[in-house]
Structure 1
Amino acid sequence: MLLLSITLLLTLVSLIFYYCFILQQRYQYFHRRGIPTPPFRFFFGHMKTLWNVPSFHRQLESWTQQYGKIYGIYQGATPTFVVSDPDFLQEVFVKQFLNFPARREILAGNRFKNVFSSAGATWRQHRHVINPTFSAAKLKMMSPLINGCITNAMEKLSNHAESGEDFNIYTYYKRMTMDVICRCAFGIDTDLQNNPDNIYFKKVEEIFARSFRLNPAVKFSQLVPEMACLVGKLVFILAAVRAFVNIYILPLVTKNQIYELPNTWLFNRLNPIIEQREQTPTSRVDVLQLMLQVMTDQKIQDDNSQDTSKANYRLTRKEVISNIVTFMAAGYETTSTALAYATYELATHPEVLEKLQAEIDQLPLSNDDVDEEAKRYPDYDIVAQMPYMDMFVSEVLRMHPIANAAVQRCAATDTTVQGYSIEKGTLIHADVYSVHFDRELWGPEDPYEFYPERHETKRHPMAFLPFGAGPRLCIGMRFALIEMKILLVRMLRDYSIQPSDKLETKLNIRERVVTAPEEVWVKLVPRTV
């Protein structure tokens, strides 16, 4: 027994020493390539620093100023190129897309993929099925639905305008954008703007109230990527067990429930939406309908399949649900946050507000062939032909990029980019802030000044990254832009925006799942046009 114990102890010590040796070799990755890297700690790499700063991406921007446009960091022991060189990024995101087809999945083990997290053949399936929803023709058809949701929001805003009080407008943006994505993508009339206590809305809000990068399971997966798949599977198994207990057991004995992560709570309770649509035939062509047309209960080919025939593109029921959760979350938070930043800039730049209102006042919103109510409603064709609005929204997204964590890629094979040797598994992370505030890319005007007219000049294709780049460019980009523009047209046609005394103190920009303000306090003043 003693001999066995000694043997086991020696084996364990040997494994530890071997693992430390492997780590030490990994930490030579950038040194061997002559690439600068900030000081780091053994085992943690740069993660201890990045976990303890208010903003992961502002810290990258700070290091870029010290180490240049291409440098390296270690997320645990995983080498990561941090890049703000646009030519390098163009090769990764566009020219060598097949070598960098996806992001790294930090918490692996989830078998139910979606258009955001999948790769290879699975990603092509999801993208091909969902793409038609966001064509110009479909967006035109959605304009009345979007306007209907905005009408509800305008009724709420008018109450504040009439009273002259200042208020947090971000709250109304969140309810409105969730209402829009539910109606336009899934045909669900949630009436969220009159029922903000809707449980689905609360759960989606909860997703964005947490810092994903500080989750203990995510931290461990970053430090020990070899265990990421096992950790992920355990997390998802525990989530499934909690959901089963909450749905089928606890209601029989108590009103209390075990806590579930909001994303898994949603995943386990969205099946009725699919069942209801299956039982109710419709002529609607939205995201849900397109996914239902290819939904199957049969086994789906894996990521390594070479069969890319579009006729074979299918989604499982759980993949459909996973996409619903993804679109609910992404369509709600990113668009409402962009509107919040847009409102902040309008409140603090009255000269920009006046120019935008001047363009809006020239819009052909009156037509004798339509009813009086419809005269005031801009549609797809109208807002798509507003040059100053385009420049304004682009400048908002340049100065306030929202989903920076998504602008990364993982090498699927050994390759070379701009003379740099990159091994399989290495991450490429775009330093979006450094790109968006680069004077060489965005001058001659100061890039830290809000100046919409800078977008009149053609820039490098990788100089503007709020929606990512390449084939994995945000699939809902045009939908989000149209939604934003329609709301801004209708609001600024009737009101001017003035800053509240609380605007700066309540803003408190935080980086969690996305980079967003806490509150945006303003006053709406009725216009006399």
Structure 2
Amino acid sequence: DQWRRQRAIINPTFSILKMKRMLPIIDDCMATLIMKIEECTKTSSESFDIYKLYKSLTMDLIWRCCFGIKTNMQNNPNDPYLKRSQEVFARENSAYLATLLTIFIPELRPTWLACHCWLNYIKVNLRRLLPMGEKLIEDDPNEWLKDNVECFIRQAHLSHSHNHNNNINDCNDNITKSTDLIHLMLDATEKNSTDTNQDDSNERVLSLNEVKQNIYLFMIAGYETASTALAYVTHMLATHVDEQKKLQNHIDSFLKVYGVLDHEIINKMEYLDWFIRETLRMYPITPIIINRECAEQIDLPGIG
């Protein structure tokens, strides 16, 4: 019921019309990626790791589409948002280990999470109390991410409450106007609360904590999955030159007719769709950390 309620509120956020509002952001990020690839091919005749560029691209898209924050992470590998985000998803992170243990032995999930929380609690206090703690013990990237996400959500909530979109400068000066996912989710929440009776309006509104959880899910589901899929598609293009030329001619034919490729035109590109689907069939992207757990026992008719 909780999942169904949240889906009913959030699904309007991902309508085609609202997703179109993010196309300029995506185009801008892609233009930066193309420029970086051109730089890599001009400065060196040797091969280069395009997967790193794809990871920077997807994280750039996530921060801009989720929070409206324009970073420079594709051009600056030391960008704090990029470094911190990559630390969160690094396999050395204790949260990653806790996630794996939860997947393999879900019955002990409370134990794994409790251990992770206690380790972080000890680490934070040692870092704060020891004379050289800040130099010897690194701060937790998960806490940094959590604090920033909560800060941006509070700002977006205040901007909706007071209608002051120009005053969102407390956490980051680069926050752009409200085409980001947080504002779209709050828009959907606000619309649902006005469209329903007062008795069940609370059921049609996401709490700030639920908004935060869904933003986390968006980040987790979109980072390595999208960048890995792009890497596999690039690998297939590089190793199948005939298919590469055929796909290029297919795209050029649409460019010749329409001039610009928008959402509707891309949906008409059957061969592009076939190529991506075949790549994902050969190299499926397994969502290791996105899993579901049955909340209660259900008897399926005819199965028992």
TM-score, normalised relative to structure 1: 0.46
Matched, 1:209 2:71: no
Match of 1:403 among 276, 281, 286: 286
Would the aligned equivalents of 1:243 and 1:265 in 2 still touch at CA under 8 Å? no
Using the alignment, how far apart are the partners of 1:217 and 1:359 within structure 2?
42
Using the alignment, how far apart are the partners of 1:166 and 1:362 within structure 2?
30
Deviations 1:390-418 (A, max 9, x none): 00111111111213444665372142476
Using the alignment, how far apart are the partners of 1:228 and 1:209 within structure 2?
20
Give the letter aligned to residue 282 of structure 2: M
How far the C-alpha of 1:231 sits from its partner, in A, is 4.2
Using the alignment, how far apart are the partners of 1:183 and 1:220 within structure 2?
30
Give the letter aligned to residue 138 of structure 1: K
Would the aligned equivalents of 1:337 and 1:402 in 2 still touch at CA under 8 Å? yes
Using the alignment, how far apart are the partners of 2:22 and 2:63 within structure 1?
12
In structure 2, list runs of 5 or more residues that go unmatched: 167-176, 191-198
Match of 2:245 among 329, 354, 378: 354
Would the aligned equivalents of 1:192 and 1:201 in 2 still touch at CA under 8 Å? yes
Match of 1:268 among 121, 124, 147: 147
Q: Describe the SS at the equivalent of 1:176.
A: helix
Using the alignment, how far apart are the partners of 1:213 and 1:274 within structure 2?
23
Matched, 1:132 2:12: yes
1:125/1:340 CA distance change after superposition, 3 Å? same
Which residue in the other structure is 2:66 paired with? 185
Using the alignment, how far apart are the partners of 2:83 and 2:25 within structure 1?
23
1:232/1:398 CA distance change after superposition, 3 Å? same
Using the alignment, how far apart are the partners of 2:248 and 2:235 within structure 1?
16
Deviations 1:245-265 (A, max 9, x none): 76xx46997642644554344
More strand by share: 1
Using the alignment, how far apart are the partners of 2:131 and 2:152 within structure 1?
24
Match of 1:322 among 194, 197, 213: 213
State how many pairs are aligned.
278
Using the alignment, how far apart are the partners of 1:275 and 1:231 within structure 2?
30
Deviations 1:54-83 (A, max 9, x none): xxxxxxxxxxxxxxxxxxxxxxxxxxxxxx
1:380/1:214 CA distance change after superposition, 3 Å? closer
How far the C-alpha of 1:354 sits from its partner, in A, is 1.3
Would the aligned equivalents of 1:182 and 1:188 in 2 still touch at CA under 8 Å? yes
Would the aligned equivalents of 1:173 and 1:340 in 2 still touch at CA under 8 Å? yes
Using the alignment, how far apart are the partners of 1:252 and 1:294 within structure 2?
48
Match of 1:288 among 171, 182, 186: 182
Q: Describe the SS at the equivalent of 1:193.
A: coil
Give the letter aligned to residue 413 of structure 1: Q
1:207/1:355 CA distance change after superposition, 3 Å? same
> Relative to structure 2, which stretch is displaced further, 334-343 or 323-332?
323-332
Which residue in the other structure is 1:153 paired with? 33
How far the C-alpha of 1:197 sits from its partner, in A, is 1.6
1:289/1:125 CA distance change after superposition, 3 Å? farther
Deviations 1:93-115 (A, max 9, x none): xxxxxxxxxxxxxxxxxxxxxxx
How far the C-alpha of 1:319 sits from its partner, in A, is 3.3
Which residue in the other structure is 1:384 paired with? 267
1:220/1:325 CA distance change after superposition, 3 Å? closer
How far the C-alpha of 1:179 sits from its partner, in A, is 1.2
1:385/1:240 CA distance change after superposition, 3 Å? farther
Deviations 1:405-450 (A, max 9, x none): 446653721424764x4xxxxxxxxxxxxxxxxxxxxxxxxxxxxx
Which residue in the other structure is 2:234 paired with? 343
Using the alignment, how far apart are the partners of 1:214 and 1:170 within structure 2?
21
Deviations 1:169-228 (A, max 9, x none): 111111111111221222111221122222332233234431889836854895582x53
Using the alignment, how far apart are the partners of 1:290 and 1:389 within structure 2?
29
Give the letter aligned to residue 153 of structure 1: L
Deviations 1:428-477 (A, max 9, x none): xxxxxxxxxxxxxxxxxxxxxxxxxxxxxxxxxxxxxxxxxxxxxxxxxx
Give the letter aligned to residue 181 of structure 2: V
Give the letter aligned to residue 162 of structure 1: K
1:393/1:244 CA distance change after superposition, 3 Å? farther
TM-score, normalised relative to structure 2: 0.75
Would the aligned equivalents of 1:250 and 1:257 in 2 still touch at CA under 8 Å? no
Would the aligned equivalents of 2:59 and 2:82 in 1 still touch at CA under 8 Å? yes
Would the aligned equivalents of 2:29 and 2:57 in 1 still touch at CA under 8 Å? yes
Give the letter aligned to residue 395 of structure 1: E
Q: Describe the SS at the equivalent of 1:215.
A: helix
How far the C-alpha of 1:340 sits from its partner, in A, is 0.3
Would the aligned equivalents of 1:174 and 1:333 in 2 still touch at CA under 8 Å? yes
